[in-house]
Amino acid sequence: MSCVLRIGGKKLDADALVGTLTLPAYRVDRKGEPRPLRSRGAFDESTIHVDVSGADFADLPTQVADAISFLAVNADAVRTAVRFPGVRHATLDFAVESKDVAIDSSYLPPDLLKRAGELGVGIELSVYPRAKTE
């Protein structure tokens, strides 16, 4: 999953949120539960994770197009989720591949920014190292 919608908060009842949404959460983190083995400690807040795009990390334009479509089709559900009691943040996280260049910039079109902003959703770019090929 290259673009994910994360909705969370310290006082969020994630199970109650998932129960009211038409958006399918592929993962639910519950405050106080242990993190996966690769991490230490417990989650300090509850968060639901919703798949927005399955495009490749190197394909930001498709991720963006998928996100615009997702927000258009699911605007009411996203608005409901963002306003749910205990929600403190909602973020579209775009996972992108590093381009191994001196300056790495990514363009996000006004349509995406407007739709996300109107729904109270922030935007994050998570840049990952390029996979090594031999």
Q: Residue 133: its pLDDT value, please?
A: 63
State the pLDDT confidence band at 127, using cuts at 50, 70 and 90: confident
Q: Residue 134: its pLDDT value, please?
A: 58
State the pLDDT confidence band at 99, using cuts at 50, 70 and 90: confident
Supply 47's token pair. 């968060």
Q: What is the DSSP string of 54-90?
A: ---TT-HHHHHHHHHHHHHHTHHHHHHHHTSTT--EE
User: Does position 16 have pLDDT exceeding 70, yes or no?
Assistant: yes
CA pseudo-torsion sign 59, 7, 88, 77: positive
- Residue-wise pLDDT tens digits, 28-75: 999 999 988 777 889 999 999 999 999 998 899 999 999 999 999 999
Q: Which tops the pLDDT comparison, 103 or 114?
A: 114
CA dist 74 → 18, 46, 66, 104, 121 (Å): 15, 22, 12, 31, 13
Q: Which residue has the tokens 């790495």?
A: 104
Q: Residue 65: its pLDDT value, please?
A: 97
Q: Which tops the pLDDT comparison, 103 or 95?
A: 95
